[in-house]
Amino acid sequence: MRIVIVGGVAAGMSAAMQVKRRRADAEIVVLERGDFVAYGACGIPYNLEDPARDIEDLVVRTPQEFRAHGIDVRLRHEVLSIDPARKLVRVRHAAGIWDLEYDRLIVATGASPLVPPIRGVDRPGVHVLRDLSDAAKIKQRIAGGEVARAVIVGGGYIGMEMAEALRQRGIAVTVVERLGRVVFGFEPAISDIVRDELLRLDVRVETDASVDSIDEQLSVHTSAGTVAADLVLVSVGVRPNVALARDAGIALGPTGAIAVDEGMRTSLPDVFAAGDCAEAHHLVADSPAYIPLGTTANKQGKVAGANAAGAHEVFAGIVGTAAFRVFEVEVGRTGLGRADIERAGRDDLVSISTHASRGHAFPGSAPLTTVLFVERDTGRLVGAQMAGRGVVGTRIDVFATALHANMTVDDIERLDLAYAPPIAPVYDPILIAASVARKDLERARRG
Amino acid sequence: MRIVIVGGVAAGMSAAMQVKRRRADAEIVVLERGDFVAYGACGIPYNLEDPARDIEDLVVRTPQEFRAHGIDVRLRHEVLSIDPARKLVRVRHAAGIWDLEYDRLIVATGASPLVPPIRGVDRPGVHVLRDLSDAAKIKQRIAGGEVARAVIVGGGYIGMEMAEALRQRGIAVTVVERLGRVVFGFEPAISDIVRDELLRLDVRVETDASVDSIDEQLSVHTSAGTVAADLVLVSVGVRPNVALARDAGIALGPTGAIAVDEGMRTSLPDVFAAGDCAEAHHLVADSPAYIPLGTTANKQGKVAGANAAGAHEVFAGIVGTAAFRVFEVEVGRTGLGRADIERAGRDDLVSISTHASRGHAFPGSAPLTTVLFVERDTGRLVGAQMAGRGVVGTRIDVFATALHANMTVDDIERLDLAYAPPIAPVYDPILIAASVARKDLERARRG
């Protein structure tokens, strides 16, 4: 029994370990086109921030460690095509091209950064964050003292994390965002908090600014003017790497990523997919979603590996939880956002509240802003967003748990949550948000 | 319509504000025997910690502010008795004793610290934390430079918070605990983390040490030896102030606190009770519980006030959530603990796990230890405890939400929780704890 895994980052290596645990006798071959496997890509900004850290400390397990577990990890091996009829993959390596047979195949090809068609985007000095090697190059340039000014094209959450990282290294940073505000997937009230935090740390923010070109001196010409730079980072989103799967006849879903069932099976027999190349079932929307994140990739990889080894495990789905930090501000969301709601033709109530993060008069207490999306007829929570200088990520987890349990805002208002001055005020911002939403709902129903 | 409220701290003042909101015409009289109303007693240790803060900054609203809202707040007014037949309370004040009629009465008499029968416990220099005045006295003594050494009798969570506060003021602190470990309401694995944090900050910890006497020099003589002190704080728990209610014929519950229904009604018509003098329905145990906490007091006060004003509000109950911090360690619990489980004759599985608080290689990541109590037949979570140097309080809130939703450990393992290196690892300690508990359960079922 040979199980071949294409891609060796989060999903691929989780799958490999799971196969090994379940079927010690299986031959497991991981084909990774890059130079590293099993690294925490999400940790890249925080690694760049600290000159003392080696980029390779993001590697959770080395190929040698996997090999010691009996997993055959091959770096710089690119899979060119899949032949599902003959059950083999065509592999290219420096040594040549050959075919490798599989009994079960797991596609974990990940995602790639979008590169917009900007003139000059391919110049040296313009970077994207595709993998650890890209991060290593940026870190090397900073260490070499070459970077006094950086432009980040794209105001998404990775752009925010990178703005912090570069600023912490003493670099003058400008964020250029095509849309009207940063982190556009969040409500304006949340975007404003993020923008204010960027401005507080002297990050320049140019919104409504599309990039026309990047010239030889690396000056970035936008619809709002020109910004000089020594380093340009393009971070405008990712797309799933599906060419290999699509060309093999594996069905893609409505989002453009690989369609999978709850056992991570694709449309082809004995072929599984997991991670940033695949869809996940969104439990609140009750439809397939494409929200590539490391945590989902790990969980999907585990289920794909288990089932490739003959088990019947299930990845139940996601509720769209995501969080990031920028300087001292934490930001999180879960469930449906405005775009999801509009796409689905829903008419949910949007309720905004702000409340202290800690007890009365406790030092370091700061306002947290919460946006809730609530189904009007039932009062059921369908989405939550939060931002502020305090614990937001794990508060979003409470809302995520409430989504899993189909709770209404009344249910949430009745939760018995922790109170201690250093941890939370008497009424946690979660309870305040639910209470405000309930009252907003009552008001909307009355008139 | 006159509504009389006995006690003006958390529950009493929440009730008063709620009555005012619902019935602007009602006459509201709050009778408080102490010198302050509406203060955050839970904030006392953090106030003492900071010499620059005035003790009165713990007051959330002054009597003047309440009076501006039309609430008649009377300090240093003690209620001596209730005559439910004639619907009046007998009140004592410096000016004399008189009767005051009520249409509705809310008993919010709070709790008092237990004072164990130790010889010398009534000496000057031996303190209990009954109210803000007691805290003011302690703060004054510290400010006067009188306190180089303190002994805290009692290793509960208030003892822990006070150990931190006094230590931060440069005072040598010894905690004396009669039982075998500090914070005995938690599992040993949690107590150990708290003890280690105390030791790290040079707090002496004497367990299995009962106090025999406190002598004239304030030396504390225990079964384990003698500790010299300039200040002794006795903090061995609280009991509900129920004498007034009991003498009036109001029924007490099995815990010894005032029995209330979900509308905060007592056994007497037109008499409500709320806060630290009253029971609350424990949703997991499905029985009355006495867990006096500021957050429950506020919520119960609101419901008592609303219903005294003629509404039909409900306080659904608690799941036993509580949290505290000692130095850098956060500690929390929710649901049933070992004592509850043994008392109920239950046979729940106890599962312990430890996992990182933050992403791989992220600075400041620290182990968090989680204990879960799980119903063996169903896999349903019935209790959770957690401790470590990271975000614990709001993680306990996730478990509390899971308890409200009757989730099993399988359900919890499938939660889509936030992941970002500064916030949580790929698998949050919550997910790891659920996964370990599921496996422990499977192992226990097999044999």
Instruction: Tell me the average confidence (pLDDT) per consecutive run of 10 residues in chain A, 447 residues long.
Output: 96 97 96 91 92 90 93 97 98 96 98 96 94 93 96 97 97 98 97 98 97 97 96 97 98 98 98 98 97 96 98 97 97 97 96 94 91 98 98 98 98 97 96 98 92
Nearest to A57 among B361, B398, B428 (CB): B361
Looking at the complex, report in whole angstroms how far the Cα of residue A86 sits from the nearest Cα belonging to chain B. Answer: 36
Quick one: pLDDT at residue A318? 98
A396 to chain B: closest CA residue: B418
3-class DSSP state of A34: coil
3-class DSSP state of B15: helix
State how far the Cα of A304 lies from the Cα of A19, in Å rounded to an integer: 9
State how far the Cα of B416 lies from the Cα of A226, in Å rounded to an integer: 42
What one-letter code names the amino acid at A106? I
A391, B396: Cβ pair inside 8 Å?
no
Looking at the complex, report in whole angstroms how far the Cα of residue A417 sits from the nearest Cα belonging to chain B. Answer: 5
Quick one: pLDDT at residue A364? 87
Quick one: pLDDT at residue A40? 85
Task: Determine contact, residues A339/A285, Cβ cutoff 8 Å.
Answer: no
Task: Determine contact, residues A53/A132, Cβ cutoff 8 Å.
Answer: no
State how far the Cα of A221 lies from the Cα of A208, in Å rounded to an integer: 13
Q: Which residues of A touch B60 (CB under 8 A)?
A: 360
Where are the strands (E) in A19-132, listed by range? 27-31, 71-74, 78-83, 88-93, 96-101, 104-107, 111-113, 126-127
A401, B391: Cβ pair inside 8 Å?
no
Nearest to A323 among B411, B414, B420 (CB): B420
B430, A397: Cβ pair inside 8 Å?
yes
| Residue from B21, B157, B401 whose CB has the most chain A CBs within 10 Å, to mutate | B401
State how far the Cα of B441 lies from the Cα of B376, in Å rounded to an integer: 7
Distances (CA, A) of A373 to A7, A370, B158: 37, 10, 38
Q: Report residue A203: phi and psi, to 5°.
A: -90, 130
**Which residue in A36, A10, A154, A431 sits closest to B316, CA to CA?**
A431
Task: Determine contact, residues A234/A153, Cβ cutoff 8 Å.
Answer: yes
Q: Please give the angle made by the CA atoms of B198, B200 and B203, to the nearest 5 degrees.
A: 45
State how far the Cα of A326 lies from the Cα of A175, in Å rounded to an integer: 13
Residues with Cβ within 8 Å of B72's Cβ and at least 6 positions away in sequence, in order, are B27, B28, B29, B30
A420, B323: Cβ pair inside 8 Å?
yes
B296 to chain A: closest CA residue: A416
3-class DSSP state of B30: strand
**Which residue in B163, B192, B189, B167 sits closest to B176, CA to CA?**
B163
3-class DSSP state of B59: strand
Rama region for A183: left / alpha / beta (φ>0; ψ in -120 to 50; rest): left
A418, B321: Cβ pair inside 8 Å?
yes
Q: Report residue A196: phi and psi, to 5°.
A: -60, -35
State how far the Cα of B437 lies from the Cα of B430, in Å rounded to an integer: 11
Distances (CA, A) of B62 to B50, B57, B75, B92: 22, 10, 11, 22
Q: Which residues of B touch A262 (CB under 8 A)?
A: none
Nearest to A419 among B294, B407, B411 (CB): B294
| Cα R_g (chain B), whole angstroms | 23
Helices (H) and strands (E) in chain A, counts: 12, 25
CB pairs A-B closer than 8 Å: 213
Overall pTM > 0.90 = yes
B420, A40: Cβ pair inside 8 Å?
no
Task: Determine contact, residues B157/B324, Cβ cutoff 8 Å.
Answer: yes
Task: Determine contact, residues A390/A321, Cβ cutoff 8 Å.
Answer: no
> What dihedral do alpha carbons B427, B429, B433, B438 form, nearest 10°?
-10
Q: Which residues of A touch B298 (CB under 8 A)?
A: 426-427
Task: Determine contact, residues A302/A267, Cβ cutoff 8 Å.
Answer: no
B417, A423: Cβ pair inside 8 Å?
no
A334, B298: Cβ pair inside 8 Å?
no
A417, B397: Cβ pair inside 8 Å?
yes
Burial label, B64 (beta-carbon count in 10 A; 0-12, 13-18, 19+):
exposed
Q: Which residues of B touch A394 (CB under 8 A)?
A: 391, 394-395, 397-398, 418, 423-424
Q: Please give the angle made by the CA atoms of A376, A378 and A381, to the nearest 5 degrees.
A: 75
**Which residue in A299, A245, A432 sits closest to A353, CA to CA?**
A432
Nearest to B359 among A42, A334, A419 (CB): A42
Q: Which residues pair with A203 in a beta bridge?
A: none
Rama region for A109: left / alpha / beta (φ>0; ψ in -120 to 50; rest): alpha
Quick one: pLDDT at residue B361? 77
Nearest to A418 among B317, B332, B360 (CB): B332
pLDDT digits (tens, 9 = 90+) for A372-427: 999 999 999 999 999 999 999 999 999 999 999 999 999 999 999 999 999 999 99
3-class DSSP state of A238: strand
A364 to chain B: closest CA residue: B46
> What dihedral do alpha carbons A430, A435, A439, A441 form, nearest 10°?
50
Nearest to B42 among A401, A417, A421 (CB): A421
State how far the Cα of B227 lies from the Cα of B221, in Å rounded to an integer: 7
Nearest to A407 among B317, B405, B423 (CB): B405
Of A1, A42, A75, A391, which residue is the catalytic one?
A: A42
Task: Determine contact, residues A129/A233, Cβ cutoff 8 Å.
Answer: yes
Tally of residues, chain A? 447
The secondary structure of residue B98, as a DSSP letter, is: E
Q: Which residues of B touch A318 (CB under 8 A)?
A: 416
State how far the Cα of B295 lies from the Cα of A424, in Å rounded to an integer: 10
Nearest to B330 among A317, A404, A423 (CB): A423
Distances (CA, A) of B217 to B176, B212, B229: 18, 15, 8
A405, B400: Cβ pair inside 8 Å?
no
A359, B393: Cβ pair inside 8 Å?
no
Q: Which residues of A touch B426 (CB under 8 A)?
A: 10, 40, 294-295, 298
Residue B270, both tokens:
């037109």
CB atoms under 10 Å from CB of B325, counted, come to 22
Quick one: pLDDT at residue B296? 97
Task: Determine contact, residues A58/A43, Cβ cutoff 8 Å.
Answer: yes
CB atoms under 10 Å from CB of A220, counted, come to 25
Tally of residues, chain B? 447
3-class DSSP state of A391: coil
Q: Which residues of B touch A423 (CB under 8 A)?
A: 323-325, 330, 332, 393-394
Q: Which residues of B touch A400 (CB under 8 A)?
A: 415-418
A423, B318: Cβ pair inside 8 Å?
no
A46, B362: Cβ pair inside 8 Å?
yes
B362, A424: Cβ pair inside 8 Å?
no
State how far the Cα of B92 lies from the Cα of B90, in Å rounded to an integer: 7
A42, B323: Cβ pair inside 8 Å?
no
Q: Report residue A374: phi and psi, to 5°.
A: -130, 135
Nearest to B316 among A414, A418, A424 (CB): A414
B415, A426: Cβ pair inside 8 Å?
no
Q: Which residues of A touch B330 (CB under 8 A)?
A: 422-423
Residues with Cβ within 8 Å of B108's Cβ and at least 6 positions away in sequence, in order, are B5, B6, B7, B8, B9, B11, B12, B15, B273, B274, B275, B277, B297, B301, B304
What one-letter code names the amino acid at B242? V
10-residue mean pLDDT profile of chain B (447 residues): values are 96 97 96 91 92 90 94 97 98 96 98 96 94 93 96 97 97 98 97 98 97 97 96 97 98 98 98 98 97 96 98 97 97 97 96 93 91 98 98 98 98 97 96 98 92
**Which residue in B332, B407, B277, B291 sits closest to B7, CA to CA?**
B277
State how far the Cα of B288 lies from the Cα of B297, in Å rounded to an integer: 15
Residue B277, both tokens:
């003098």
State how far the Cα of A117 lies from the Cα of B244, in Å rounded to an integer: 79
Q: What is the DSSP string of B219-259?
A: PEEETTEEE--SEEEE-S-EEE--HHHHHTTPPB-TTSSBP
Q: Which residues of A touch B318 (CB under 8 A)?
A: 416
Q: What is the DSSP string of B352-368?
A: EEEEESSSTT-TT--EE
Looking at the complex, report in whole angstroms how far the Cα of residue B127 sits from the nearest Cα belonging to chain A. Answer: 22
State how far the Cα of A175 lies from the Cα of A195, in Å rounded to an integer: 10
| Residue from A56, A401, A408, A442 whose CB has the most chain B CBs within 10 Å, to mutate | A401
SS3 letters across B133-175: HHHHHHHHHHHCCCCCEEEEECCCHHHHHHHHHHHHCCCEEEE
Looking at the complex, report in whole angstroms how far the Cα of residue B118 sits from the nearest Cα belonging to chain A. Answer: 30
Residue corresponding to tokens 């929200």:
A291
Catalytic residues of B: 42
Distances (CA, A) of B368 to A286, A399, B273, B353, B429: 34, 22, 38, 8, 7
| Residue from A325, A397, A442 whose CB has the most chain B CBs within 10 Å, to mutate | A397
A333 to chain B: closest CA residue: B418
**Which residue in B191, B417, B185, B158 sits closest to B321, CA to CA?**
B185
